[in-house]
Structure 1
């Protein structure tokens, strides 16, 4: 459903960047980043965070991996490497990366808890794992009946495609269970409406064919939703982003790993 080649996908990715990038980079800025760090951006999307990391770590390397890389530009930085791959089938040598970041990725993966464990193993001693995921608020709690219908269809559709949009609540505990320390977390409320702050128009447009196919909303609902978004007095909070991060202890030994299918840092 979220193929990068689908109509309006570029708009969806850019709307996410506009609304969430400053929250993400503020968290990254709070880490003791070094210019020499090797970084991994999982599910790089349209690349804004990968480009930011490449600029902050000019003496290091940034690997940006996505299932479909058509929205990524390898020419944006000399220390940027783009890899087109399914992250669930990708592996890296233990201790490869000083920083690993993922946003809006793990909730869509079938073995998301296991992927956190794998990603934690790719960290170098002292390295940081930062994971940011959506947490949907109950559709029925919206004060707007139309939004209740739209969000019910939206959340149902994502569940049908295997996503868990409430999984993020357990992220801090999951990082701690994977022996990461200095675990911390923050939340960023998502805005529906509010004119320039809204990022839901491209999200709903992108998902519209699948939402209509569910039978839970109609074309009339979608048209009415577009009109509602034009009302400067319309503001709702459908979702929040939960960001959680933790550090691999500096004294953790790097285990030996079989060499098959393992990518080593250059």
Structure 2
């Protein structure tokens, strides 16, 4: 797939466009706040050093690099629509693929582990993508999907946060994202023939400039929020000041991780008619 083709994908632009210089900061803030949760989940699986792994929506690469070290006798394929933040030289068993996974296929039965984080909620045909990803698993392979579940903004004890999160969630919906889709993932894994389905949640913390991932996230979204008239410059300034207050702590979101295993000696699930990937 050419870069021009990739640029036409709906999640390549807007809130998630890599051309914005703040995107790297956003990706790294996610890694700082969620990586430990992610690696603990994967470490709870029967990971073997020889596993072949696929990291979907690899972002700035921290999970892909960790998997490469965790499976030194196997290989890790890190795929993203834009790979400028990924370093193929980090490991000999790491491969970087620049591709739109909604149009790109992998050989069925290829991977022992497939992981994606904060990706599927931005895809138009996210339910069908679960089916396709499950088809790429080898027998006994594991699919791990991690997605945000936004809590209602009106439940926040801080009126300013209510306004900002309402604006942010509205903007996400306008860009085609479903920030409550995570609730469906365990059932989708089971419906696609995976077994041993389980799930866990990690509450996100809003508060503290040194560790908060919401400052880079809101800064990243700020132009769209301002352009739509959903917040003011004053709101954004007050939010930054609020983060400096040690008494400010809020829980705006959960990260839901769900995983399941493809049973041995079973054919991969069939991709729905009309949803077969191109390219």
- Determine if the TM-score, normalized by the shorter chain, exceeds 0.5: yes
Q: How many residues align?
A: 261
Q: Which residue number corresponds to residue 10 of structure 1?
A: 24
Would you say the 8 A contact 1:62–1:79 is kept in 2?
yes
2:153 and 2:270 map into 1 onto residues whose CA distance is 47
* 3-state SS of 1:193 partner: coil
Cα distance change, pair 261–162 in 1 and its aligned pair in 2 (3 A) = closer
Cα distance change, pair 97–153 in 1 and its aligned pair in 2 (3 A) = same
Q: Which residue number corresponds to residue 145 of structure 1?
A: 159
Would you say the 8 A contact 1:7–1:206 is kept in 2?
no
Q: Which runs of 5+ in 1 are unaligned?
A: none
Q: Which residue number corresponds to residue 6 of structure 2?
A: none
Q: Which residue number corresponds to residue 147 of structure 2?
A: 133
Q: Deviations 1:224-243 (Å, cap 9, x if unpaired)?
A: 10000111110000000000
Would you say the 8 A contact 1:94–1:255 is kept in 2?
no
* 3-state SS of 1:7 partner: coil
Cα distance change, pair 256–220 in 1 and its aligned pair in 2 (3 A) = closer
Shift of 1:253: 3.1
2:76 and 2:19 map into 1 onto residues whose CA distance is 24
CA RMSD in angstroms, aligned pairs only = 1.7
Pair 1:217 & 2:208 matched:
no
Would you say the 8 A contact 2:131–2:269 is kept in 1?
no
* 3-state SS of 1:64 partner: strand
Q: Which residue number corresponds to residue 177 of structure 2?
A: 163
Pair 1:19 & 2:19 matched:
no
Q: Which residue number corresponds to residue 189 of structure 1?
A: 203
Q: Deviations 1:39-61 (Å, cap 9, x if unpaired)?
A: 00000000000000000111111
Q: Which residue number corresponds to residue 129 of structure 2?
A: 115
Cα distance change, pair 255–190 in 1 and its aligned pair in 2 (3 A) = closer
Would you say the 8 A contact 1:93–1:262 is kept in 2?
no
2:253 and 2:268 map into 1 onto residues whose CA distance is 38
Cα distance change, pair 76–172 in 1 and its aligned pair in 2 (3 A) = same
* 3-state SS of 1:240 partner: strand
1:256 and 1:96 map into 2 onto residues whose CA distance is 15
Shift of 1:62: 0.4
Q: Which residue number corresponds to residue 235 of structure 1?
A: 249
Cα distance change, pair 253–142 in 1 and its aligned pair in 2 (3 A) = same
Q: Which residue number corresponds to residue 97 of structure 2?
A: 83
Would you say the 8 A contact 1:195–1:232 is kept in 2?
no
Would you say the 8 A contact 2:149–2:253 is kept in 1?
yes
Q: Which residue number corresponds to residue 106 of structure 1?
A: 120
Cα distance change, pair 131–200 in 1 and its aligned pair in 2 (3 A) = same
After the TM superposition, list the runs of 4 or more consecutive aligned residues in structure 1 that deviate by more than 4 angstroms.
254-257, 260-263
